[in-house]
Structure 1
Amino acid sequence: MHPATKISLIITTYNWPQALGFVLRSLEYQTDKNFEVIIADDGSGPDTKQLIKNFSDTSEITVKHFWHEDDGFRVAAARNGAAALAEGDYFVFIDGDCCLMPSFIASHRKLAEKKWFVAGRRVYLKKRFTAKIFKKAWRFFNWPSCILFIMGLTGQCNRPFQFLSIPQSNKARKKQAKKWEKVQTCNLGVWKEDFYGVDGFDESYEGHGLEDSDFTVRLIRSGVHRIDADYCSPVLHLFHSRSIPGREGKELKNPEYFQKLLESDRFTAVQGISCRLSRESF
């Protein structure tokens, strides 16, 4: 990708401003500065809004904030809403509990190819290590990779070898070109034209699970294939419990939606970003 191409970093969040604050701080250390930020807010309260405003007021990074009402887990809709505000030609999706190493944006720029999407990795930080980060306000995302590697070897996080710059050939990175399995939108890069080509995320999916798999399957069917970003600036996932009170239940329909997709040859969303844009035009 050309250095002049702007990247839109889309960050999904819900009511965890403490974690989002660390994610936003990690953006200040990016070696590649040619990006904007859009927060895809799935209904957070005023503390998150204030945090975003404070960061935007003091940072040179362009920050936009998409918000919709809290009506359960509607991440697909939040991401589409944020994407509609994006001005970049390339989208990178992460979650609001995933901090970025300084080379993150640069790594996605380097790997981006037309008609390919980039599937990045995630490193899980352990509970005690995350608690120390919050208590001591460590800028751990800016630590040398060798230190993070040692932290992994000593049990502070998983996948320590993701911190090593192990050379990968272009062929090796594309060996799973048509596989949708284990692609996650906590670290995913896709061209704007390809995102709109499949009509974005399917907002039919509510509740946790399978909205990212649905999106990936449709991308591959449309002729956009997968590049793996192994050993290339993974996101650093802060520890949290998996369930959020009051946000469960709606995901019961998601497996049915996904099965119907697999049984079809469809590559556009049932309720995609075009539906949102049509509504907003009136």
Structure 2
Amino acid sequence: MQQAPTISVVITTYNRPDALTAVVEACFLQDDKNFEIIIADDGSGANTRDAIDRLRARSPVPLKHVWQPDDGFRAAMARNRGTLAATGDYIIFLDGDCIPQRDFIARHRALARPGFLVSGSRILLSPALTEKTLAEHLDLPALGFFDKLRYRLRGDMNKLLQLLLRWPDLGRVHRKFSWRRIKSCNLAVWRADLLRVNGFDESFVGWGHEDSDLVVRLLHAGVRRKDGAFATEVLHLWHREAKRDDETSNRKVVERRVLDKTTQATRGLREHQGEAA
């Protein structure tokens, strides 16, 4: 019988303490509380640090804060540092604006299998529902069917069935690589597999495709991809899109690596060896 994995949730954040608080509080309310939280902070200021201190004081699970100086978009580095601070053998990457449902950990645990990663799914929220959620501390995962239906019909959520249905672990394996729905805002990977490919590649400049690059390299290393839809959905709070000046060049790097079977990050986990946790 397969032993249940020890789980670390690595939550990336940058100067959005209200959203981060909503996400972490949803983690506190998980059905399965056998996990730890690592907040991977890409250079946030004092407001975020104070919010994390308040959360840590009442956290029902271990909670760590890993911070790095603000030097531009460095989410790959933040996730790598979060991974190195984690103690779990299974890492779930979650963004600090993606609110998990109550069974998020339990569903990821049920889908976890050696040799596979799980690319999770998300439901996009409107600016209006996002503002209401944060201003009124709305508990989105606790909403009833008719509330969810109302928000869907008004266009405040872009999906509904994924919130209502749960699909078993059948037909989830991707046999061919696809760019579709690869999002590090909800992505689960075995720690050993991350170490094997040297983690996220910090040589990517600016926004875009460092998550796709990781999955491509894991695929080349023999790790297969499972789809987490209808099981692991998170509620993605609205935000303005980041500048995408480097998206095209980043995409070209990934396309090249698809062809040349690259497995190793140019600059990744190994480059942080010896750093203080």
Does the pair score TM above 0.5?
A: yes
Q: Provide Cα deviations, 1:200-242, integer angstroms capped at 9, x if missing partner.
A: 0001012110100100101111111111112113010001111
- Any unmatched runs of 5+ in structure 1? none
Displacement of 1:3: 6.9
Displacement of 1:4: 5.0
Alignment of 1:7-156 (within 5 A): 7-144=7-144, 147-156=147-156
* CA gap 1:2/1:10 in 2 versus in 1, 3 angstroms: farther
Residues 8 and 90 of structure 1 are in contact (CA less than 8 Å); yes or no, is this contact kept in structure 2?
yes
Residues 6 and 35 of structure 1 are in contact (CA less than 8 Å); yes or no, is this contact kept in structure 2?
yes
Q: Does 1:254 align with 2:234?
A: no
Question: Once structures 1 and 2 are overlaid, which stretch shifts more, 254-263 or 207-216?
Answer: 254-263
* CA gap 1:3/1:31 in 2 versus in 1, 3 angstroms: farther
Percent identity between the two aligned chains: 39
Q: 1:164 & 1:60 partners in 2: Cα distance?
A: 27
Structure 2 match to 1:270: 266
Residues 151 and 160 of structure 1 are in contact (CA less than 8 Å); yes or no, is this contact kept in structure 2?
no
Q: Which amino acid aligns with 2:177?
A: K
Q: Which amino acid aligns with 2:231?
A: C
Q: Which amino acid aligns with 1:178?
A: K
Residues 117 and 189 of structure 1 are in contact (CA less than 8 Å); yes or no, is this contact kept in structure 2?
yes
Query: How many residue pairs align between the two structures?
Result: 275
Q: 1:190 & 1:233 partners in 2: Cα distance?
A: 14
Alignment of 1:198-209 (within 5 A): 198-209=197-208
Displacement of 1:50: 1.0
Give the secondary structure class of the aligned counterpart of 1:280.
Answer: coil
In the superposition, the TM-score normalised over structure 2's length comes to 0.92
Displacement of 1:255: 3.2
Structure 2 match to 1:280: 275
Structure 1 match to 2:238: 239
Q: 1:95 & 1:112 partners in 2: Cα distance?
A: 19
* CA gap 1:6/1:274 in 2 versus in 1, 3 angstroms: same
In the superposition, the TM-score normalised over structure 1's length comes to 0.91
- Any unmatched runs of 5+ in structure 2? none
Q: 2:56 & 2:3 partners in 1: Cα distance?
A: 24
Q: 1:150 & 1:228 partners in 2: Cα distance?
A: 27
Residues 30 and 101 of structure 2 are in contact (CA less than 8 Å); yes or no, is this contact kept in structure 1?
yes
Q: Which amino acid aligns with 1:195?
A: L
Structure 2 match to 1:216: 215
Q: 2:158 & 2:195 partners in 1: Cα distance?
A: 34
Q: 2:102 & 2:88 partners in 1: Cα distance?
A: 20
